[in-house]
Structure formats: structure tokens, C-alpha cells
Structure 1
């Protein structure tokens, strides 16, 4: 038995050395189960798939996503997703399959996702990132269901961890929001169906982006059966519960947020939301624009 214990201890010690730190860290009851620290010199495609399409998420976004060094790069421990002015061709509707109609956009940008490679049911999902500004610039860190168990969007849900639109663009001050007459808000949102017809509803909140010497902040959600809460730099600013996404024709419950979701990082340019807000439209003076991500980490109880 002693020899067995010694051998087992040696094996355990070796596993600890070889295992990625992502699955060893544990704080406040949360155990880190997945991470990308972007320490290499290229995107780790065992974790992420780069998007290459002009779908635009149904938001009339102007960019096409392209898997190129100009739009997706990893250097000095940081992922960079960049939108540039460049004619780009891709599938107009990637959800219709690879033989669908094509589209050409005036801009190219970067988008990566973990679909088919990693998804989670509940957890703390967080990223340290620096987001760009400018009219029409729309960075996002978000989650979509791995399988559309309850039907197409929005029936199966969406969790937006971070969105900003038009940072620095003119807006009307209301309290600390738009202080100095410039856009400065961070948004966290869930999307879901409000009834059996699939009518879109959303819930969540926003906060003012805190000051930072280098522009980096940690954006996070904590997602449990009881609630979804949003944080910036560890400070909670919004929280929703199953009562908030209760369908009009059903009892309150965790659906649709009771199935695994995968992670998406992207930088959009234009679209219904940014073009309808602040100075309206898009301003090409904001380009090239880059979202930088230092790390992404997922923890579970």
C-alpha cells in the first residue's frame, strides 16, 4: 500500500506540473475549468474557431468577418480583433449553410467562437479587455446556446457579457452617464422570448466605464440557476433572476438559460444599435479599431 501511495503521489505531482493552470486555480468556491491567456504567437484553434462570413447577426452590421492576420492576431500575450476598411466577401447568411448567397462588405473584422470546442452550463465567465471607441464601433463578448434546444433566436437565449457602442461619441449627459457629453457606458444583457410566439425581450443593465490608466477592465458574468449578474472590475452593476425572463405563457424557471452556452468575441462596425445612437451612422475616422483581450477565463462552482 505504501508503494502504491508513493507511486500515486508521484503521478499526481506530475499531473499538477503538466496540467494547465486554468484548471487548477480556485477562489471563493469557484474552480477555473477553462482559459486562454493568449500567450502564444497565434490563435489557438483547439479552443477557438475564427468566423469568416458576412452574416452580421441580423443587425445590419456593415463588416464581414475574415480569418486573416489583419483582423485576428495574437502577440505579446494579447488577442487583437481589428476592424479595417477593406472590401470583403463572404456568406450573407452562414446559418443557411455553405452554399448560400454571397455578400461583399466594405469592412473586414475579427470574430472567434468556442462553438463545438467548449461550452458550459453555469459559471463565472470573465475577460480582461480594452475596448475601442468611435461612432459605429461595437465590441462584444457574449454567449450563445450550443444547441438551439428551445428554437431559433431568441427562444434559446443569449447572454451578453460586455457590449459598448460608440464610446467617446457625443451624447446627452444623464448623471454619470455620458459625462462630459461623451458616450461612456458598458452594457450587460440577456435576450429571450417573452411568449410562445417568440417575441423578443431583453433584460439587464448598464454602468459607467470606470477610469483606468491603461484602458483594460475585467468584464464578467456569474450565471447560476438562481440569477445572472454582471460585473466590471469586480463590482456588480446588474442582476436578473428567472422571474425577469419568465414567459407570459409559462411558469417562472431557468429555461432557456438551463442549457450549455459557448463563448463569442467579436468587433462589429455599424448596425442598427450603434448607427441609431449618439452621432448616428458610422464614422470611418474610427478605423482601424481594435479590441484587445488579455485573457478569458471560465470558472464553475
Structure 2
């Protein structure tokens, strides 16, 4: 009942907004002559066909496609409010494809207009299933340097990243390489450019970003006090808005000083640094076995999983930075505010990644 009530509330709000928009551009009818020339629209009917709908698949075939058949007397044009988008059409046939994966109910509001701008409206809804599809991926199945069409690098001393990290990030094969079907980011204890450790930080900035969907990594974590591997996202507007206004989503963070614990967190204005928007979950054998760390992101929520087990849900809203395009980052830091004290016996450690995938 709560779901139905929420849908109806949303439909009511959308109807109100739509009517205001439509009324602002409609023409008044001050005389009977105009009414005779342009009779008001009437008999509005909206039929919704879900593509692939059967008794076994009542929400469709997973394509997310629907067809609308609109009929009305005395109408010459139509406006359709669907999936928070306003479409203006003149045809009575309208096709739309939803892209957010999963099964959801969407309100639909249709208004029919005559030549004078008078209109009538009708609302309905559709329950539809959208199958998960790959938007972007790297399977790390070609030995050598990581794919430069997908990844770039942040390079330089660790204290330049605002966390008092100890490493110097490079793009050397000693620190980042693909071999035997996995990406290996290696932290090494060595004197390099004034730092005592080296490692790598890869990112898709300028090459790939997305808004809403599921991002996941299958990874095996490094061993050693002071290690700090991460898989995370930053807003595309970081160069202009800065941090934390751009928003940050940490999907995987773990530290060698507290092994087998995954942290998932969000950073935003007023909730950065020691953010309250965070949760942890135990991941047994995280350094000896591969696990899948993922975030499902929508306008309503960001849900965090390990091996498909949900452990944290963040309530998203229009007031957060998490409604724009974000890019991906993989890195292995040493020490710093979160990584903590480095084991004096540390020599090297490897963050091993089987794949990174992004779905709709």
C-alpha cells in the first residue's frame, strides 16, 4: 500500500506541475466563435503496450520499451510526461524506452491539445522490467599496460591528495601492470622522488563517466599494515566545483591495519572528512580470495553490496551532489589519515583486480 500511495502522490505532484506548465502556454477561450472553430478536446484515451509482455513476463521482455496509443477528439498535438521527461508530439503513437535496470512503476501523464491551446489530461502508470546491461567494462585480459583508451593516471607525491599519504603515484610497470588475466597495482617500499613508497592511481576521468547504474569491482586485497586499497568515484565537475561539492562515492575501502573489513562511504558538503554517511561489513579472506564490491546508484538511493549482499543504503535526493556524472578510480595508497601506520617490515603488496564493470 505504501508503494501505491507513493506512486499516486508522485503522480499527483507531476500532474500539478504539468498542468501549470500546460496552462501557462495555453490560450484562453473568451468567445463562443472561437469555441465553435476550435472545439475543446475530449474523449482522451491512453493505451500502454509493454513490449514482450506475456503471462510469464508481465513486466515485459527486459528491453524497457513501451508503446503508447493515444486517441482524443478535436486534438492536434500531445504532451507526455514520462520518466521525469516532457515529450511534445503530434502523432498518436509514441514509443519510449526506460533505461534504469530493475522492475519499477512509472507514472505517465498525457495531455491532448486543440489548435487554440485548450487541453485535457489523463494519467496512468506502467510497471516494467529493464534487464541489466553492460555500459562499460575492463576485463584486464590483455597482458601489459592497462588500456589507455579506458584509463589515465594521477601521478605525484601522496601528500598532494589531501590525505597525508606516503606513496608516490607512478604509471610505471613496476607499479601497475596487467598479467595473467588480472590488473595488479603494486605498492613498493623504495626511495623515489622524495617519497619512501611507490604505487599507482588509475582513473577514467575524461574517458568514461556515467549517471546512475551499478559499478562493481572483483578484487583481492593487499596485505600489510598501512596499505589502503580503494575503488571509488568522483563527480565530473571536480575541476570547477572542487571537493567535496563534486561528491565522492567510496565503494571499496579497506586498510591493512584492520583487515577483512570493507568501508563504503559518501562525501558531500558538510559531510566530508569524517563523514557520517558510511558503513562497514566483514569480508572474510579478502586478501586471499576475490570478492565483488558494488554500488547500485539511482536518484532515490545508493545501495552498497559485497558479493551481492546488501549492507548499506544511502537515501539520495535532489539536494545531494549524487545526481550528475561520475568517473571511476582504482588506487592503492600507503599510510595517511585512513591507512595509518605502515608496518616497519613492509616491503611490497599487491591490489589485484579481476574486472571493473558498469551496468545501466
The 8 Å contact of residues 150 and 256 in structure 1, kept in 2 or not, is answered as: no
Structure that is richer in strand per residue: 2
Are positions 1:32 and 2:134 aligned together?
A: yes
Are positions 1:156 and 2:246 aligned together?
A: yes
Q: Secondary structure at the match of 1:184?
A: strand
TM-score, structure 2 as length reference: 0.60
Which is bigger in relative contact order (C-alpha 8 A, separation at least 6)?
A: 1
Trace 1:45-84 onto structure 2 (pairs within 5 A).
45-56=148-159, 57-84=161-188
Offset, 1:153: 1.0
Offset, 1:61: 0.3
Alignment correspondent of 2:338: 273
Offset, 1:255: 2.7
The 8 Å contact of residues 161 and 189 in structure 1, kept in 2 or not, is answered as: yes
Q: What is the alpha-carbon distance in structure 1 between the residues aligned to residue 192 and residue 326 of structure 2? A: 29
Q: What is the alpha-carbon distance in structure 1 between the residues aligned to residue 302 and residue 337 of structure 2? A: 26
Alignment correspondent of 1:121: 211
Highest CA radius of gyration, 1 or 2?
2
Q: What is the alpha-carbon distance in structure 2 between the residues aligned to residue 212 and residue 54 of structure 1? A: 28
Offset, 1:202: 4.2
What number of residue pairs does the alignment pair up? 231
The 8 Å contact of residues 133 and 286 in structure 1, kept in 2 or not, is answered as: no
Offset, 1:270: 0.4
Unaligned residue ranges in structure 1 (runs of 5+): 1-25, 90-103, 170-182, 243-251, 276-280
Offset, 1:29: 2.4
Offset, 1:200: 7.1
Aligned structure 1 segments of 4 or more residues deviating by more than 4 angstroms? 211-214
Deviations 1:19-51 (A, max 9, x none): xxxxxxx99722111000001012100100123
Q: What is the alpha-carbon distance in structure 2 between the residues aligned to residue 254 and residue 31 of structure 1? A: 28
CA RMSD of aligned residues (A): 2.3
Q: What is the alpha-carbon distance in structure 1 between the residues aligned to residue 163 and residue 288 of structure 2? A: 31
The 8 Å contact of residues 216 and 294 in structure 2, kept in 1 or not, is answered as: yes
The 8 Å contact of residues 131 and 291 in structure 1, kept in 2 or not, is answered as: yes
